[in-house]
Amino acid sequence: MLNNIIPAFVVGGLICILGQLLMDLTKANVTPAHVLVTFVTGGVVLGALGLYEPLVKFGGAGATVPLSGFGYALAKGAIEGAESNGLIGAFSGGIEATAVGIASALFFGYLVAVVFNPKG
């Protein structure tokens, strides 16, 4: 089981390098938000084209932890939903697949925001 950690490290690190290049080499008004939106949408597209699957097979968490992995999950979910439920499944599939991620972000995000104070 432990031999999947190094591929995770390498693949994850490389995907982040891509993000860093985007941040450093583009015009100054590319913020973290823009980078995140690009990665999610990129993950959806690559996932839909089947190009993200090999990354996931080899890199495991190295491909699923970055936000492109979230996009990949969305695409996979939408396709599976469309397969089993037609048009309705195309709509619901993505959200269903990523429901736990969205719900936990909301849940923990709210709790932490209420308990802590910004330090500046």
Residues 88-107 that bind another protein (CB under 8 A): 89-91, 93-95, 98, 100-102, 104-106
Minimum gap (Å) between residue 79 Cβ and another protein: 5
Angstrom distance (rounded) from CA 61 to CA 114? 30
Q: What is the distance between the alpha carbons of residues 52 and 65, in angstroms, rounded to a whole number?
A: 13
Binding of another protein by 54 (CB under 8 A): no
CB of 53 to another protein, least distance (A): 14
List all residues 6 or more positions away from 35 whose beta carbon is below 8 Å from its beta carbon.
19, 22, 23
Which residue's CB is nearer to another protein, number 54 or number 111?
111
Using rule CB under 8 A, residue 30 touches another protein: no
By CB under 8 A, residue 48 contacts another protein: yes
Site for another protein contains 51 (CB under 8 A) = no
Tokens standing for residue 49: 């084209």
Closest CA to 66 of 85, 91, 46, 48: 46
Q: How far is the CB of 1 from another protein (least distance, A)?
A: 5
Least spacing, CB of residue 55 vs another protein, in Å: 12
Nearer to another protein among residue 53 and residue 91 (C-beta): 91
Q: Burial letters for 42-74: b for 16+ Cβ neighbours within 10 Å, e otherwise?
A: bbbebbbeeebeebbeebbbbbbbbbbbbbbbb
